[in-house]
Structure formats: C-alpha cells, structure tokens
Chains A and B, each alone.
Chain A
Amino acid sequence: MPEFVMPDLAPVMPEIVMTILALVTLIADIIFKRKETLAILSIASVVLVFFVLFGTPFKTTFNGMFIADGYSLFFKLIFLLNVVLTVLISMRYLVIERVNFGEYYSLILFATLGMMLMASAGDLIVLYLGLELMALSTYILAGFITYDMKSNEAAMKYFLLGAFASAFLLYGISMIYGLTGTTDLNAISEYIILNGLTANPVVMLSMILFAVAFSFKIAAVPFHMWAPDAYEGAPTSVTAFMSVGPKAAGFAVLGRVFLIAFGSVRMDWSAVLIPIAILTMGVGNIVALSQTNIKRMLAYSSIAHAGYALLGIIAGTGEGLASVMNYLLIYAFMNIGAFAVIIMLRTEGFKGDTITDYEGLAKSHPLAAALMLVFMFSLTGIPPTAGFMGKLYIFMSAVYAGYTWLVVVAVIFSAISAYFYLRIVMYMYMREPKESVSLAATPALGIALAITAAAVIIIGVLPSAVVSFARAAVAGF
C-alpha cells in the first residue's frame, strides 16, 4: 500500500491562494449588496496571488504533476493581468447590460485558476482538468446575458465545439497512455526515445489529435468556426477575457506538450502546424476584411494573431518560445485595450459595435479616438507600438530557425491586415459624425485604458525588459 506523503505545497501556493480567494469572492457575493466591492475584491485577490507567485520556488511537486518554473510564471502573469484588465472594464458594462451578478467575478477567478494549472501541468491528466475548468467557466461567462439570444447562441456554440475539442484531446491522451503507459510529459518523451517510436503511427495519430484539440483552443483555422459567433455574441468584457486568457493558456500547453512530450518528433509536428499557421493567418486576415461588426472583426483578427504566434512554436527553439510569450503579453495589452474602447461606446440603448459607429469619433471624442488609433496601429504592427516589436521577435526567431519563406507569407498577410485595422482609423478621423455618440467612461475603465495604452507604447519603445524577462523564463524550460 502506498504511504501517504504530504506533497510539497510551496510551488502550488499561488493556486491554493487563488482557490481560497475565488471561494471568498463567491461567499462575499451573499454579504455585499454592491457588486463593485466584489470587483475590487477580485482585483485585490489577483494582486495578492501576484505577490505569492514571485515568492514561489521553482520546483516540481505532486509526483511531477505540477511544475513551477519560469515558463509557467510568465504565463501566469499574463493570466493575472488579463483578470485585472477584464474586471476593470467589466464594472460599468455589467450594470449597463443588467447582468451585474457576483458569480461573474468568481467564474473569472475559477477560469484563471484553470489556466494557471494548464501552464504548470506536467501531466496530461492535470492538463486536461485545468483545460476543462477554464473552458467550462468560460462557456458560462459567454452566455452570461441570459435574456439575450445572441449570448445564448455564443455559449451554445462555444460549448458544443469546445466539448468536441475536449473529446479529441482525451482521445489523444488515451492513445499516448495506451502506448507508453504513462501520462507524465517527461516520461512520455523518454519512452518514445528509448523505444525508438519516433515513426510509430500511434504517436503520429495522437500528436495530430493533440494538435487539433489545441488548435480549437487557440482558434486556429480550420478549427476556428466557433470563434466569430462566440466573440460576437458574448458580453464584450468576456470577449476581451476569452480572446486573451484561453488563447495564452492554449499556447502554454501547446508549447509544453509539443516541445517536451513530442520533442523527438519535432519535424512531424511542425509539418502539421505549418499548414495550420498559414491557413490561420490567411483566413483570419482575409475574412476580417469584409466584417461590419467590430467584435466580429476583432474575432478574425484574434484568429490571425494566433497564426503569427504559431510561427514561434514552429521555430521550436527557446528563442521562438520566448518570442511567443512576449507576443502573447503584448497581445493581451493591445487587444484588451481595443475592447475597452468598444465597451466605452456601449451605453444604455446604444450598442456601438458596428464599424460605422466609429465614424467621426475623433471630432466628438478625440481622446477615445486617439487611444483606439494606438491599439489599431499596434494590432497592425506599426512602430513604435508594442505590436511591431512582438511581430519582429516572432519573425526573427522563425528566420533564425530557417523558416524564411513562412515569414514572407506572414508579412504579406500582415500587410493585408492593415486594411481593416486602418479602416477604423480612417472612419474615426476622416468622416463626419453621423449621430452623437456618448461614452460610458468610468474611473475603472480609464485606469484600464491608461495601463494598456502606456504598456503598448512603452513596450514598443523599450522592449528589452520584457524580452529579456521572457528569455530568462524560457531558460529553465
């Protein structure tokens, strides 16, 4: 009989604190009538977890199932940042949509806990459970406006296709377990190398199933069908949350599973990921050209950005991984910033989510238009914004890995993307306002916009700090 040994809890401390604080937020919902208190409480929780995170030793615990290292630390920072920014832009928005319920905040914290477990998973079972915790919480958040048919539709589509992706993932896990007899990522890699299974069809099949499942999570073509409907129908704050968090978490597990467990069959999985990356960039950028709804347009833009980030994974080097992490952090700032502006246009009785609503915004609200300009420039990748630096490092790492032709393709698609991003800028600055648009500006929204805009410009001008942090994080991988 195995003896019960208390596992080392120090590396899991951030997750434990997160769990406790999510439960506290849940209970506080009963006590406090003002839901803004819960928003402040969840931001305070995340800040506390942030401090615990930096005091956490880099160790492996729970029999190798949980890995605390620089790689997971960096991704956890993205997740925590995502929570802070999402909560800041949600506070007023939830009141306007009349869904100001406390469960919103605890579900966001639970989803983030799932992401943190994914980033630290050293075992496929923990990876799967973290993914489900994140996904199930996000499905509910997508359908949070229960009286709105579009929100229901978003949640339903997201749920059905997400469940489909989970089935693919489980199928892949069961195959690799049947072959190697373990679910531990390092042990799988050792088994494949020791037994010379690098050309084994079962390894190939399970690798492809993993690629399919993770492509669903990061919304890569051809597994992106859920994204436009889910992003358009979901509450805008949730769209901002799920376009950054689950995508980053998907990349975290993609990197760990493919570079560790399937590290020995790198040539095979890059042959699978290259067509996916090209299709993702192509479909994302070209379909975005014809969108009239800005949330839908940003959904396609988010698909395209997943394609750029895949280039860093395909490069398969530590430098490539660092550039992906760097890119996802920058993407979190610029994307949530853009959604913050969209949320600001949503007032009582005015949806503000079609592109024509932005006509003449520069005349009526110059500051909001200027901020949107910064985020659109950054999403296009125009210097001196952070989006340019992010793309530069990704493309550089892919060139160093020998994928110059792939980078040329990416740059062409990136040039196409300028059309639909800059069209919004053109609408804001070169057209006359049709109707008077009022803004739902609050201090919280202002803070979120200030953080995102400042980060986009500062990282764009001085990227070295973030880049060297990402490189240091990958060093212990």
Chain B
Amino acid sequence: MNIELKEIVFLCVAIMTILPCFIVAFSRNILHSAFALFFTFLGTAGLYFFLDADFLAVVQVIIYIGGVLVLLLFAILLTRNIEDIKTTNSLSIKHSVLAGIVSLIIIGGLLYSYISNRWVFPLRENPDYPYFTIKELGDLLLTKYLLPFEVVSILLLAVLIGSLVIANRSVR
C-alpha cells in the first residue's frame, strides 16, 4: 500500500471527523459540544467528497452546518439556565456501559460482514458514474422527477403556512 497525498488527506479528514465526536460526547460544556459538532459535520462532508458524491457533500455543508448547527446554537443561546450543565449532560455508569456494549456489537457486526463477504471495493471508477453528480441530478429533477419536484414545492408552502398558523398564538 503506497501512501500518496490523497491517502494522507483522507486520513486527516477521517481524524477530523472522529476526534471531535469525543468532545461532543464527553464535554461538560454543551457549547463546546456544539462547536465540536461543527468539525464532525465538516469532516463528513469531506468524506462524501472522497466518495465522489459532490452534491451530497455540498448539501451536508448547507443543511447540517448552515441549518442544523446554527439552529442548535440559537437554541442553546436562547435557553435559560444553560450554565447548569451537570444536570443536562450527566453521564451515568450504567448508560455508558450499555452504550459501550451496543457500539461493540455494531463494530463487530460490521467487521464480521466485511471479513466474511470479502467485499472488494472496486478501485477502478465505474464508467457509468457521472463526474459531477450535481449536473446529473439537476437534469433528472427537471425530466424524470419533475412531478415530485413540483409536489415538494407545494409541500414546503403548506408547511410554511402551517408553521405560521401554529406560531401565531394571538387570538384575533
């Protein structure tokens, strides 16, 4: 196995994805957890790039960093008594042991399926796989999937109206 620049970058991205997870899980300060989550999300986007899923990577950045994380930070900033971290982020021995066992089972299952099936991931690129997925997805959305695309727009409008109805609690 020859290590090239690509592999080094991949390892860096993988480390950037996994290491902050520990801070997210173990930090006593919920704000630190939220900021560590930023690097995990960014790292996941990087992993998608390595899988040649450029659209998914961009969407990951827009939705998870631009949407979910910002929403999370707002929720933290607007919550009172957030300094009382110990009550919100306590770790009990029982839960840790249970979580540890479940994680070990999942890792074991994944390793077993990998070894027993001898999955050889194709190193050569699939010729059918488009170079840029964004362009192909755009073409598909306006040809084959035109109807779902249009229905989604109505769905979002209905949800927008609905959330305004629910949020407007004053009785007119």
Interface string of A356-368 (1 = CB under 8 A from B): 0000000000000
Interface string of A130-153 (1 = CB under 8 A from B): 101100110110011011000000
**Contact A2:B139 (CB < 8 A) given known A125-B145, A129-B152:** yes
Q: When the two chains form their complex, are residues A26 and B151 in contact, meaning their CB atoms are under 8 A apart?
A: no
Count how many pairs of residues, one from A and one from B, have CB atoms less than 8 Å apart in the complex: 78
Q: When the two chains form their complex, are residues A106 and B161 in contact, meaning their CB atoms are under 8 A apart?
A: yes
Q: When the two chains form their complex, are residues A139 and B171 in contact, meaning their CB atoms are under 8 A apart?
A: no
Q: When the two chains form their complex, are residues B147 and A66 in contact, meaning their CB atoms are under 8 A apart?
A: yes
* Interchain nearest-CB distance for A434 vs B (Å): 31
How long is the Cα–Cα vector from A62 to B165 in the complex, in angstroms? 33
Q: When the two chains form their complex, are residues A126 and B142 in contact, meaning their CB atoms are under 8 A apart?
A: no
Max count, chain A CB within 10 A of own CB: residue among B152, B157, B165: B165
Q: Which of chain B's residues has its CB closest to A19's CB?
A: B154
Q: When the two chains form their complex, are residues B165 and A101 in contact, meaning their CB atoms are under 8 A apart?
A: yes
Q: When the two chains form their complex, are residues B143 and A4 in contact, meaning their CB atoms are under 8 A apart?
A: yes
Q: When the two chains form their complex, are residues B155 and A62 in contact, meaning their CB atoms are under 8 A apart?
A: no
- Tell me which of B142, B145, B158, B172 contacts A136 (CB under 8 A): B158
* Chain B 120-172 interface residues, beta-carbon cutoff 8 Å to A: 139-140, 142-148, 151-152, 154-155, 157-159, 161-166, 168-169, 171-172
Residues of B within 8 A of A130 (CB): 151
How long is the Cα–Cα vector from A150 to B51 in the complex, in angstroms? 49
Residues of A within 8 A of B168 (CB): 146
* Interchain nearest-CB distance for B27 vs A (Å): 29
Q: Is A411 an interface residue (CB 8 A)?
A: no
Residues of A within 8 A of B154 (CB): 19, 110, 113, 133
Residues of chain A at interface, number, CB under 8 A: 39
Interface string of A1-23 (1 = CB under 8 A from B): 11111010000100000010000
Q: When the two chains form their complex, are residues A1 and B158 in contact, meaning their CB atoms are under 8 A apart?
A: no
Q: When the two chains form their complex, are residues B151 and A2 in contact, meaning their CB atoms are under 8 A apart?
A: no
Q: Is A117 an interface residue (CB 8 A)?
A: yes
* Interchain nearest-CB distance for A109 vs B (Å): 9
**Contact A62:B147 (CB < 8 A) given known A98-B171, A113-B154:** yes
Q: When the two chains form their complex, are residues A129 and B148 in contact, meaning their CB atoms are under 8 A apart?
A: yes
- Tell me which of B139, B158, B171 contacts A110 (CB under 8 A): B158
- Tell me which of A26, A98, A129 contacts B161 (CB under 8 A): A26
Q: When the two chains form their complex, are residues B146 and A7 in contact, meaning their CB atoms are under 8 A apart?
A: yes
* Chain B 53-94 interface residues, beta-carbon cutoff 8 Å to A: none
Q: When the two chains form their complex, are residues A65 and B169 in contact, meaning their CB atoms are under 8 A apart?
A: no
Q: Is A268 an interface residue (CB 8 A)?
A: no
How long is the Cα–Cα vector from A12 to B144 in the complex, in angstroms? 16
How long is the Cα–Cα vector from A99 to B172 in the complex, in angstroms? 8
Q: When the two chains form their complex, are residues A101 and B162 in contact, meaning their CB atoms are under 8 A apart?
A: no
How long is the Cα–Cα vector from A144 to B161 in the complex, in angstroms? 12
How long is the Cα–Cα vector from A126 to B159 in the complex, in angstroms? 17
* Interchain nearest-CB distance for B74 vs A (Å): 22
Q: When the two chains form their complex, are residues B162 and A137 in contact, meaning their CB atoms are under 8 A apart?
A: yes
How long is the Cα–Cα vector from A126 to B151 in the complex, in angstroms? 8
* Interchain nearest-CB distance for A30 vs B (Å): 13
Q: When the two chains form their complex, are residues B161 and A103 in contact, meaning their CB atoms are under 8 A apart?
A: yes
Q: When the two chains form their complex, are residues A101 and B172 in contact, meaning their CB atoms are under 8 A apart?
A: yes
* Interchain nearest-CB distance for B129 vs A (Å): 15
How long is the Cα–Cα vector from A443 to B145 in the complex, in angstroms? 46
Q: List 6 A-B contacts (CB under 8 A).
A: A101-B165, A103-B165, A106-B161, A123-B148, A139-B162, A140-B165
Which A residues lie at the B interface, using CB under 8 A? 1-5, 7, 12, 19, 26, 62-63, 65-66, 98-99, 101, 103, 106-107, 110, 113-114, 117, 123, 125-126, 129-130, 132-133, 136-137, 139-140, 143-144, 146-147, 155
A12-B147, A103-B161, A140-B163 given; name 5 further pairs at CB < 8 Å: A65-B147, A103-B164, A126-B147, A129-B151, A146-B165
